Amino acid sequence: MESNRGCPELGSVIVGVDGAEPARRAALWASDEAARRRRPLHIVYGSDIDGRVLDLSDEDTERVRAAGRELLEATADAVQARHPALSVTTELSRSGPAMSLRRAASSHGTLVVGNRGPGGFSSLTLGSVGLEVAAEARTPVVIVRGSDEEAGHDVVLAAVRDERDLDCLRHAARAAELRKASLRLLHVRNIVQSVGSAARAFGGLDAVGGRQEQSLAAVAEQIRDEYPSLTVQVGTEKSVSVAGVLVEASRHADLLVIGGRRTTGHIGRTLGRVTHSLVHHAHCPVELIPRHGDECRSETS
pLDDT score recorded for residue 233: 95
pLDDT score recorded for residue 87: 97
pLDDT score recorded for residue 272: 77
**Nearest to 179, CA basis, from 257, 122, 236, 245:** 257
- For residue 45, which amino acid is it? Y
**Nearest to 151, CA basis, from 250, 67, 218:** 250
Say if residues 256 and 286 touch (Cβ distance below 8 Å).
yes
Which phi and psi (to 5°) does residue 201 adopt? -110, 150
Reported pTM? 0.85
Which phi and psi (to 5°) does residue 255 adopt? -160, 135
pLDDT score recorded for residue 120: 42
pLDDT score recorded for residue 150: 66
pLDDT score recorded for residue 273: 82
pLDDT score recorded for residue 115: 84
pLDDT score recorded for residue 123: 39
Residues of the chain with pLDDT under 50: 1-3, 119-125, 194-201, 204-205, 207, 265, 293-301
